[in-house]
């Protein structure tokens, strides 16, 4: 979320995809992930809009955030403090 907020974009939706196995996607771990995502959704007023899960021996997550802005702050116009 911080990547789009720093550009003046108000986050609205996000998509999350995860890969893992039975050990990493245990019921306990999924409850922790779900609780954390729910807290962030409430904090930033964003909505989970989709995603995917696949089997893998490596644990990995990819999150895509989408939002809206009236005025985007571009990197080439940024200035040091």
**pLDDT per residue over 23-46, tens digit each?**
999 999 999 999 999 999 999 999
pLDDT digits (tens, 9 = 90+) for 58-71: 999 999 999 999 88
Nearest to 47 by CA among 69, 19, 72, 66: 66
* HSE-CB for 26 with a 13 A CA cutoff: 5
| pTM given for the model | 0.79
Q: Would you call 15 exposed, middle or buried from its count of C-beta atoms within 10 A (0-12, 13-18, 19+)?
A: middle
Q: Dig out the tokens for 80 from the structure.
A: 């040091």
């Amino acid at each position: 979320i911080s990547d789009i907020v720093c550009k003046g974009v108000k986050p609205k939706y996000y998509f999350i995809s995860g890969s893992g196995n039975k050990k990493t996607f245990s019921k306990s771990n999924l409850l922790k992930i779900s609780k954390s995502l729910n807290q962030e959704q409430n904090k930033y007023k964003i909505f989970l809009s989709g995603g995917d899960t696949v089997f893998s021996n490596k644990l990995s997550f990819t999150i895509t955030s989408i939002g809206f802005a009236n005025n985007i702050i571009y990197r080439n116009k940024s200035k040091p403090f």
